[in-house]
Structure 1
Amino acid sequence: MNLLIVDDHPLVRTGIRTGLEGYFSESSIREAGSVAEALDLLSSSTIDVAILDLRLGDGSGIEIADRIADLDIDTRCVIFTSVITPLAVIGAFNSGTVYAIVEKGVDIVPLGQAVQNAANGLSSLTAVAVKRAEEEITLSGGLGSIELTERERTIAELVADGLSDRDISQTLSLAASTVRNNLSTIYTKLHVESRTQLAILIWRQRSIENPT
């Protein structure tokens, strides 16, 4: 089995690699420390399962999963994260390439099982789990308790409408770097990891405010 571990902390990658080498007697394991490095490896190598950290220095594991789907790469994904949030569940499910989310801190067995299941085409992400995650977001009141500035809220809404950073920059007459900096702040405030998760949260908020 060909595996790829994506995490921006070398010691974490080493720990995961050691555990998986013990779990899978015959496997080829490669490592990447960023979204860009992971995508380079995925496009040039045959990877059966990618183990993705949710938060990376230049993006997120969900972004990698989305790109795998966009590029039609035959790789299945397992998200390995410190905290499993409702938005992570929804974003992972919507990517179509994530087969499981495993919480860090557990021993290697659950991760090894998730990787084996993903390789066999067995997913633990179900519509029921996604519906439960959506209900948690609804019950939490969406964005009601989050303080975004007027500009941040406008940018978040435009992301949900499908605009790229360049489109937003032109629409609001802002420098591209300003848009990126605002998005970084929005991600931190809303505890999201990607544009997909941000868009989902905004869509859920719209459904709360306009239920018809």
Structure 2
Amino acid sequence: MRLLIVDDDLLVTTSLKTIVEASGEISVIGIGNNATQAVELYETLHPDILLMDIRMGESTGIEAATEILAKEEQASILLLTTFSDDEYIVEALRIGVKGYLLKQDLEAIVPSIKAVKNGQSVFGHTIMDRLPQLLKTEKNGCLEELKLNEKDLSILSLIAEGLNNKEIAEKIHLSEGTIRNYISSLLEKLALRDRTQLAVFYYKNIYVK
């Protein structure tokens, strides 16, 4: 698996490289230290996954991710964040990154990278618990117009919990193929791009705590 790491802290990039390459399954093919380099290195190296800091001096990982995703919608980007980055977390969800890692949660880094490579979105429990409050907004009142049925809502809630297709299939006793069809239908029906945006939609328009 080919990984690009971008962070403005040399100690962080060095530590991350050591951690991920120790797994024996991940090769760090490039290291950058700002948003501009992130975009340039991504376009040059075409990594499987980009692991990138959010706060990097005058530029941000959000800006770099936005530019990369505008050119390549399927880009797999994982952002590194801290507890104080609420506004960045919300924006990252909206633009369609694949997940968020807390810098202090070192044990989760390699499993999260592998999960993203396997097509999953990564939501840490800490961030998941905060999403309803971060995305708190007035419900749009048009769910009936969107013709979402009970099964659609059930699948949306499980996606928002971070479950993959196999886990959802087991949970509601359907085949993985059927789940894939449901998700494709939901993406088309809601005019959304990926699972992350489905999770955002759920928390903004359906979730009630």
Secondary structure in 2 matching 1:69: helix
Aligned pairs, number: 135
**How much is the aligned-residue C-alpha RMSD, in angstroms?**
2.5
Identity of aligned residues (%): 24
C-alpha displacement of 1:84: 5.0
Which residue in the other structure is 2:101 paired with?
102
Which residue type is aligned with residue 133 of structure 1?
Answer: L
Give yes or no for contact 2:3–2:51 (8 Å, CA) kept in 1: yes
**Aligned ranges 1:34-113 → 2 under 5 Å:** 34-72=34-72, 74-83=74-83, 85-96=85-96, 98-107=97-106, 109-113=107-111
C-alpha displacement of 1:14: 0.3
Which residue type is aligned with residue 76 of structure 1?
Answer: S
What per-residue deviation string (whole Å, max 9, x for no partner) do you get for residues 9-57 of structure 1? 1111000100010124352431001111111111112111111111012
Give yes or no for contact 1:4–1:47 (8 Å, CA) kept in 2: yes
Which residue type is aligned with residue 27 of structure 2?
Answer: S
TM-score normalised to the size of structure 2? 0.57
Which residue in the other structure is 1:182 paired with?
none
Give yes or no for contact 2:52–2:78 (8 Å, CA) kept in 1: yes
C-alpha displacement of 1:119: 1.2
Unmatched runs of 5 consecutive residues or more in structure 1: 139-212
Q: Distance in 1 between matches of 2:15 and 2:102?
A: 15
Unmatched runs of 5 consecutive residues or more in structure 2: 139-209
Which residue in the other structure is 1:132 paired with?
133
Give yes or no for contact 2:17–2:28 (8 Å, CA) kept in 1: no
Which residue type is aligned with residue 118 of structure 1?
Answer: V
Return closer, same or farther for 1:127/1:111 CA change in 2, 3 Å cut-off. closer
Which residue type is aligned with residue 22 of structure 1?
Answer: A
Give yes or no for contact 1:52–1:80 (8 Å, CA) kept in 2: yes
Which residue in the other structure is 1:9 paired with?
9
Give yes or no for contact 1:8–1:56 (8 Å, CA) kept in 2: yes
C-alpha displacement of 1:58: 3.4
Return closer, same or farther for 1:65/1:122 CA change in 2, 3 Å cut-off. same
Secondary structure in 2 matching 1:23: coil
